[in-house]
Amino acid sequence: METLPKVLQELEGEDKELLFTAPVWISLFASYRHDGEIDKSEKAEAIKQAHFRTFTSPNSLHAYYKVVDDHFEDKFNAFNNALPQGDEERDQLLEDKIRSIVKVVKGLSDEHISKLLMHDLNEFYLRVFRADSSIFQYFTFPIISKALDEDDENLDEI
């Protein structure tokens, strides 16, 4: 069985709590950042990422994600329900959490783990952020946009 890297085992108090809930906060941040609300696909992607990373993340992070995966959905729901109701207040709290997470990760004494974790958490964010975007948006919007531009040019000629 994999064990947590020593630098993560040594964390205490608020830093430990923040680091082991980081993917939850990052998921909430990514979900709200996209369009101001949490879509079912964003939440599902967050839960999926927390679980998949127990075996798809770098080997030295598997044990970390096993801790993260434990009760991930419950924490996601609880943290979301505890967020301020106003958009500005909610966004500010989430931004503050992300800044604190970055500070803790960058402050880890093991530079290798720090860089691995920072990279992996960024990937986590991107997966959740992109979950609400469909393939349709990625491929058809440029096609539609190009067609509209061409129509505008044709109108200029009339």
Residues 35-58, mean pLDDT to the nearest whole number: 94
Q: What is the pLDDT of residue 1?
A: 58
Q: Quick one: pLDDT at residue 152?
A: 44
* pLDDT band for position 135 (cuts 50, 70, 90): very low
At 143, list the tokens.
């096609």
Question: Does residue 29 register a pLDDT over 60?
Answer: yes
pLDDT at position 80 is 98
DSSP-derived letter for residue 107 is T
Average pLDDT over residues 45-49: 97
> In this predicted structure, what is the pLDDT of residue 34?
75
Structure tokens at 134: 């469909």
Q: Given this model, what pLDDT does residue 35 score? A: 85
Q: Kindly tell me if the per-residue pLDDT of 151 is higher than 50.
A: no
Reported residue count of the chain is 158
Residue with tokens 């964003």: 42
Indicate whether 88 pLDDT > 70: yes
Is the model's pTM score more than 0.75? yes
Residue 2: pLDDT band by 50, 70, 90 thresholds? confident
Q: Taking the domains of the chain in order of start, what are their residue ranges?
A: 6-133
| Assigned token pair, 107 | 């402050």
Mean pLDDT along residues 18-40: 94
* Widest pairwise Cα distance in the chain: 72
Q: 153 pLDDT band (50/70/90 cuts)?
A: very low
pLDDT of residue 121: 96
